[in-house]
Structure 1
Amino acid sequence: MTTRTLYQLFADSAAAHPDRTALEVQGSRLTYAELEESAGRLAARITEEYGGVPARVGILAGRSLPTYVGYLAALRLGATVVPMNPTFPAARNLELATSADVDLIVLDRAGTKHRDQLAAAHRALLLSVAEHDPAGQPAATVAPTVAPADGIAYILHTSGSTGRPRGVPIRHRNVVPLIDWMIKEYGFGPDDRTSQNVELTFDVAVYELFVTWGCGAALVVPRVDDVVRASSFVRDNEITHWFCVPSVGDIAARVGALAPGSMPSLRLLVFGGERLIAAQAEQWAAAAPHAELHNLYGPTEVSIICTGQRLGERGELRGPGTNGTMPIGQVMPHLEYVLLSEDGHPADPGELCLRGNQRFDGYLDPAGDAGRFLTWEEGRAARIHTGDEPVTDLHWYRTGDRVRTEDGSLVFLGRVDDQVKVRGHRIEVGEIEAALTRHPGIREAVVVARAGELGDTLVAHCTGSEVPAAELASFLREQLPVYMVPGRFVHQETFPLNANGKVDRKALTG
């Protein structure tokens, strides 16, 4: 078992490369020595104002200096980081703070708009930090706490079928082996410049931050608009590594940001979060002629990434699977996997089930563990975990994803449940349905995903009163992140039923 933590990955690079650039954000540039000092000073301020070391620290900040200094300051103290998002509704951020039972929340200018709602409904100390000097006064620092490898590094929240977000605690021992493996496998080094493209509430952000800081490279933070205008940002900032959600890449193509040869500095282009088709990969390969393309896959519960496929370079890309999507590759060598049929026996295709050092130990609320784990051994049918016993290292995590093996690689086929992905975000449609039925005019709601030119779009079918779509969208935006708000609303008198008397989702049109 590794004894290192995420903070130690950063601290080791700071010791080895103190004068190299660690972070560039909103016009600020910090070396590793400067970023380490800022994290130490903010850590001192946190302990002074909190009166000790908080166990869990929320980061309610945008793409600003306080975000990254706050993240490292929390880890420096041995605390657990709980990412939040100022673009989420205040009610959603309150749910995240309550779910993770945070003790203190770091706020930047964008996060302060939620201050009043949080102060009125949650016990956490709210700490506002300045954009230009997030450490603030005093200038004192605190020594790093040597957190145990078994300690929880961060808590992310996935969409929950019960109508509430589900907390996923990831320990240092779960994620550090992946970071170490990625740095070695993909050849990251101090001369690289990585773009931090996704929000901290998306697990890929941990990969972007710590693969970069774990090797002494520079993390460059784009504005949200820069991500969909990829070529100019990459070119102007000499970015060498780029992560892309395929549907976001489609938007970049539509605004003319993927011209052939427009990103010559890129040497590694990584896709993930959604299905990738050959045409998307080819367009990016043409725009980044010197880059090697990879397609990665993994659920938050198995620490970000668990499979990878090298796709190749411009002119020699690997072809798609028989279903037209690019393969997600082979399972990481330090993980175990099995494909299981609905009756719990090995099958190909089958549901991908995983265990090993990256697999989390269970949800914050143990009630969420039921049905998500199973026990299986050769010669016996799998037994689904019912929640009446602890989750152990022998349990397999059920990804809910159906895959099959083609030419030695796994190809993603779809879900075995009602979960969908929109722009890389995993969504339980039950959570949206529950939110819709809180509207006084809605009796029942069924949400389905429909394929579109820019990826999947959510469509909500509702019974009850015929409520205007704009009203329903506004109602949901007060409860849910914008990526969970359906793009269309369809009024139905009744829902079609299948032979088992359940709603026939496939029969819903529109």
Structure 2
Amino acid sequence: MREHPDADAVRTADRTVSYREFDKLTQVFADDLGAEVPPGAFVGIEAARGLGAITAMIGALRARRPFVFLDSRDSVASNAEKVKVLGVRRLARSRDDGDVYLTDVPQAWCPDGTGPAYGLSAVEGELCYAIHTSGSTGEPKCVLVRPGPLAAVVRDHVERLSVGPDARTLQFARLTFDGCMTEILWTLTAGACLVVLDEARLAPGAELRDTLERFGITHLKTTPFALTATEPGGALRLRHVINGGGACRSAVVAKWSAVAALHNAYGATETTVCNLLTGPLDPARCRAGVPLGDLVGEGAYHLRDLGDGAAPAEAGGPVRRGEIVITGPAVAAGYLTGDGVRPFGPAGDGTEYRTGDVAELRDGELYFVERLDHQVKLRGYRLDLGEIENTVCRAEAVVEAVVTVESHDGTGGTGDDAPAGTGSNAPAGTGGNAPPGAGDDALVCYYLGAADPRELRRHLEGALDPYKVPSVLHRVEALPYTPNGKVDRDALRGLRTRGEDTASTPVQQVLTLVGRLTGIGDAVLDDNFYALGGDSASTLRLVTKLRELGWLDAGVRDVLRARDLRALTDQLPQRSV
């Protein structure tokens, strides 16, 4: 700021502010804040994208007042809870010209008045901000973050991403997501320009690409969804692109490393935004997976043993698998609850945070596998869905993959009702004329890309244990996402077709059902059901269909012994009554 006072600090769609002017704006707000909000008390900042919110954030840091972003698009109940727990009395709002002023918190957010914050006085040291988790694994939680560890993370990003006065960062993350902290602060602490635009200009795809080109963006931190959905153009000025908020795929590395240095980042809200960051990724070295990177900031990690036995050895040495546990100053102060501050760590001493993320350490590199709460038990086997997704994404022409557990009728399944030992493509042991309905859970893989499902199945059968191979391989044109950039797994279940009952002939109904049970939409009568992906559970569904079509004594053995689908459909006219 002192070295380049006339350089651009913040640019919006209709205004550019120099560092000299930005310094005055933030200092005026810091002075107002210091006069109206006592030390240690939280101030709310309206999370509207624009100059005002950035001014308020930096002004709060200058005044050494902790802050929380409040989004009017969130529910009244959600904002009321944040205001109540943190004891927020004053709210920073923006005028149309971008200036910031302090006002009372809206009455709707504090119908019973605002009392003192819950137990904040018990926190040792200064606080920087409060951020609320997305609630994807339960109720949203209020995390209290200290300024010192955040400063260390920002400093490392400035150095590793070569951020300088000639850089331009697109402020991509929503202000209620902690990813915004690093992109804002690495920019403004390095004398670079922060470009702040409305969300319509950030829509993944052609709109985002146009924004990157039009505003000359050099540094971008964004989600796997945005990187997957956006094709880089020839007019880009990007130097560094960071994947954050989700697993990075090999296809993304290949695409974006051709136009910029692509990095993968990993971190948790509870451990000060970012803990690991790679250097520029080499596509040739990411075909078997994308590493999480090296430590940034003031923290360390270890892998907690999951108690499920040693991981198998692979080429290059043994693989260690465990839950990522972050330790050191990077661990935030704790959760703020109605009962006060709850520090992290098994003893509540704030020394560590168990992330719930399973990772593998192989050849000195750490690789994300899956969240613990996404592990499933299917037919007696415990599975990491992320491990299967990673393997699918290694196949030729697969861009992204999501694996879920569903019943073969397309509804969500628990995975715990099926008998143990009946592997994915191993119907042996299900002989007899057992009635359908029991153990009908299946692994379903939705994938993005041009890969043929038959070739993809062959790839998976050569790379995975049989019980890990999905029963259904369903190619989609696009994956549904939640507002915070995560794959919407619940919405995926609505993408599978259900058309066998509309087929005009019994043969067409059988082929349509087989297509839905396996994902092979072009199944023909010469296909073997199990070569397509049929398993013990889908066998029962096929038996049910054969009985509905008139073959009343059809059984599992009939399907097992049929060399192809023709052998089954040819018997329909003879066996029907």
TM over 0.5: yes
Asked if the contact 1:197/1:205 (under 8 Å) is kept, the reply is yes
AA paired with 2:78?
Answer: R
AA paired with 1:76?
Answer: R
Q: Does 1:406 align with 2:365?
A: no
AA paired with 1:21?
Answer: D
Aligned to 1:196: 171
AA paired with 2:250?
Answer: A
SS where residue 336 of structure 2 aligns? coil
Residue 417 of structure 1: how far off its partner (Å): 2.2
Task: Tell me the alpha carbon deviations over residues 384-434 of structure 1, each in whole angstroms, 9 at most, x when there is no partner.
Answer: x2xxx5414xx321111000023321110001125999xxxxxxxxxxxxx
Task: Tell me the alpha carbon deviations over residues 82-113 of structure 1, each in whole angstroms, 9 at most, x when there is no partner.
Answer: 0122322222222222232223112347999x
Higher relative contact order (CA 8 A, sep 6+): 1
Aligned to 1:187: 162
CA distance in 1 between partners of 2:338 and 2:308 (Å): 23
Quickly say closer, same or farther: Cα 1:163–1:412, change in 2 above 3 A.
Answer: closer
CA distance in 1 between partners of 2:179 and 2:261 (Å): 19
CA distance in 2 between partners of 1:281 and 1:29 (Å): 33
Aligned equivalent of 1:106, options 92, 95, 99: 92
Quickly say closer, same or farther: Cα 1:104–1:303, change in 2 above 3 A.
Answer: same
AA paired with 1:305?
Answer: C
AA paired with 1:38?
Answer: L
CA distance in 2 between partners of 1:61 and 1:333 (Å): 26
Residue 22 of structure 1: how far off its partner (Å): 0.8
Aligned equivalent of 1:261, options 210, 234, 245: 234
CA distance in 2 between partners of 1:89 and 1:333 (Å): 34
Asked if the contact 1:96/1:165 (under 8 Å) is kept, the reply is no
Q: Does 1:320 align with 2:286?
A: yes
Aligned to 2:70: 84
Aligned equivalent of 1:415, options 358, 371, 384: 371
Aligned to 2:27: 40
Q: Does 1:391 align with 2:366?
A: no
Q: Does 1:29 align with 2:29?
A: no
Aligned to 2:300: 336
Quickly say closer, same or farther: Cα 1:97–1:119, change in 2 above 3 A.
Answer: closer
Residue 155 of structure 1: how far off its partner (Å): 0.7
CA distance in 2 between partners of 1:211 and 1:117 (Å): 35
Asked if the contact 1:61/1:108 (under 8 Å) is kept, the reply is no
SS where residue 417 of structure 1 aligns? helix
CA distance in 2 between partners of 1:32 and 1:279 (Å): 39
Quickly say closer, same or farther: Cα 1:223–1:186, change in 2 above 3 A.
Answer: same
Equivalent residues in 2 for 1:114-125, closer than 5 Å: 115-118=106-109, 120-123=111-114
Asked if the contact 1:195/1:219 (under 8 Å) is kept, the reply is yes
In the superposition, the TM-score normalised over structure 2's length comes to 0.58
Aligned equivalent of 1:303, options 266, 269, 272: 272
Asked if the contact 2:293/2:366 (under 8 Å) is kept, the reply is yes
AA paired with 1:20?
Answer: A
Aligned equivalent of 2:50, options 64, 82, 87: 64
Runs of 4+ in 1 over 6 A off after TM superposition: 109-112, 344-347, 366-371, 480-485
Task: Tell me the alpha carbon deviations over residues 327-378 of structure 1, each in whole angstroms, 9 at most, x when there is no partner.
Answer: 21233385322112124999811111121221213222397988962xxxxx
Residue 56 of structure 1: how far off its partner (Å): 0.6
Asked if the contact 1:278/1:319 (under 8 Å) is kept, the reply is no
Kindly indicate which of the two structures has a greater share of residues assigned to strand. 1
CA distance in 1 between partners of 2:113 and 2:287 (Å): 49
CA distance in 2 between partners of 1:53 and 1:333 (Å): 26
Asked if the contact 1:457/1:486 (under 8 Å) is kept, the reply is no
Structure 1: segments with no counterpart, 5+ residues: 1-13, 126-147, 374-384, 422-447, 459-476, 491-506
Asked if the contact 1:47/1:54 (under 8 Å) is kept, the reply is no
CA distance in 2 between partners of 1:368 and 1:295 (Å): 35
CA distance in 2 between partners of 1:84 and 1:318 (Å): 43
AA paired with 2:371?
Answer: R
Residue 116 of structure 1: how far off its partner (Å): 4.7
SS where residue 18 of structure 1 aligns? coil
Aligned to 1:272: 244
Asked if the contact 1:56/1:101 (under 8 Å) is kept, the reply is yes
Quickly say closer, same or farther: Cα 1:163–1:298, change in 2 above 3 A.
Answer: closer
CA distance in 1 between partners of 2:131 and 2:445 (Å): 27
Asked if the contact 2:84/2:115 (under 8 Å) is kept, the reply is no
Task: Tell me the alpha carbon deviations over residues 174-213 of structure 1, each in whole angstroms, 9 at most, x when there is no partner.
Answer: 2111111221222211111111101111111000111011
Asked if the contact 1:299/1:399 (under 8 Å) is kept, the reply is yes
Quickly say closer, same or farther: Cα 1:456–1:368, change in 2 above 3 A.
Answer: farther
AA paired with 1:43?
Answer: A
- Work out the number of aligned pairs and report it: 378
Asked if the contact 1:46/1:53 (under 8 Å) is kept, the reply is no
Asked if the contact 1:321/1:327 (under 8 Å) is kept, the reply is no
CA RMSD of aligned residues (A): 3.9
SS where residue 106 of structure 2 aligns? helix
CA distance in 2 between partners of 1:72 and 1:346 (Å): 48
Asked if the contact 1:54/1:104 (under 8 Å) is kept, the reply is no
Which has the greater radius of gyration? 2
Asked if the contact 1:149/1:173 (under 8 Å) is kept, the reply is no
CA distance in 1 between partners of 2:79 and 2:63 (Å): 23
Q: Does 1:362 align with 2:317?
A: no
Quickly say closer, same or farther: Cα 1:485–1:109, change in 2 above 3 A.
Answer: farther
Quickly say closer, same or farther: Cα 1:338–1:183, change in 2 above 3 A.
Answer: same
Asked if the contact 1:243/1:270 (under 8 Å) is kept, the reply is yes
CA distance in 2 between partners of 1:33 and 1:337 (Å): 41
Quickly say closer, same or farther: Cα 1:486–1:268, change in 2 above 3 A.
Answer: same
Aligned to 1:224: 199
AA paired with 2:285?
Answer: G
CA distance in 1 between partners of 2:177 and 2:45 (Å): 13
Task: Tell me the alpha carbon deviations over residues 147-182 of structure 1, each in whole angstroms, 9 at most, x when there is no partner.
Answer: x99411111011458964211111111211111122
Task: Tell me the alpha carbon deviations over residues 238-293 of structure 1, each in whole angstroms, 9 at most, x when there is no partner.
Answer: 11101120112333x3xxxx244241x1111111101111112222334xx2x111
Structure 2: segments with no counterpart, 5+ residues: 117-122, 312-319, 376-384, 387-442, 449-477, 495-536, 538-577
